Amino acid sequence: MFFFDPTYFLVIIGLIISMAASSYVNRTFHHYDSYRSQSNQTGSDAARFILSQSGIQDVGVQAISGDLTDNYNGQTKVLSLSESTANSTSVAAIGVAAHECGHAVQDHVNYWPMRLRTALVPAANLGSTLSLPIIIVGVLLSYNTTLIHIGIFLFSLALLFQLVTLPVEFNASRRALKILSDGQVLTPTEVPMVRKVLVAAALTYVAAALSTFLQLLRLVLLFGGNRDND
């Protein structure tokens, strides 16, 4: 006999949402990557300028391999830009570089949601790694509800991390747009293009949070109720 699990549709919905968001951000980035900025600055040039204008002298800028692998590391004080961003003079590349500079500014001003997200990283990684094995062990041990609930709680830490990530990313984009709006890097007609790129990128974080929530909901529906162990 085959067991049909209707809650698996939650996983499928989460995958569809994540894939749609990823596809949208890639299409949007590559569309505006075809628009050369009038300043002719590369992503790396723009990043160094923005950091200097923000009074940040202790952050390095480096190019890394990959596509849209841009990130800011607060521990090493290094802003890493992917090849598609670092060496490009496109409006999209400058927008992505400015967004990462927004994270550097957050670090510089001690933005507390960013500190909270950093503090949650170990717990979120632990929860993502151990939650399902603990739930499986709980099921195998005659449906041990204590272990199962511990597993569900650990998985919820991953969702908490995703939720805290949202304001951090939104704030970094707002800082980026504010910096770019002064006209020294992009023209007033180019800033709306960047806004579209950053909105598309933000949707990927929303999609990740929704996908994680749907997975947590599935675990609760499958294992969260009390079972009679007799």
pLDDT in tens, the chain (230 residues): 345 678 888 989 999 999 999 999 999 999 999 999 999 999 999 999 999 989 999 999 999 988 878 999 999 999 999 988 999 999 999 999 999 999 999 999 999 999 999 999 999 999 999 999 999 999 888 888 999 999 999 999 999 999 999 999 999 999 999 988 887 899 999 999 999 999 999 999 999 999 999 999 999 998 876 554 44
Cα separation of 80 and 100, whole Å?
8
Is the pTM here over 0.85, yes or no?
yes
| φ, ψ of residue 87 in degrees (nearest 5) | -100, 5
Ramachandran region, residue 191 (left: φ > 0; alpha: ψ -120 to 50; beta: rest): alpha
169 given a catalytic annotation: no
- Please tell me the predicted confidence (pLDDT) of residue 3: 53
The residue among 128, 131, 147, 130 whose CA lies nearest residue 139 is: 147
Q: Position of tokens 């503090």?
A: 119
Alpha helices in 87-144 (DSSP H): 91-108, 112-140
Q: Is the separation of the CB atoms in 204 and 117 below 8 Å?
A: no
The length of the chain in residues reads 230
| Strand order from edge to edge, sheet including 78-82 | 60-64, 78-82, 71-73
Q: What is the pLDDT of residue 168?
A: 96
Query: What's the pLDDT at 184?
Result: 85
User: How much is the pLDDT for 160?
Assistant: 96
| Side chain identity at residue 144, one-letter code | N
Among the listed residues 83, 100, 169, 190, the single catalytic one is 100
Distances (CA, A) of 62 to 13, 43, 65, 172: 37, 11, 10, 19
pLDDT for 2 equals 44
Q: Find, among 168, 136, 163, the residue nearest to 152 by Cα.
A: 136
Start-to-end C-alpha separation, the chain:
24
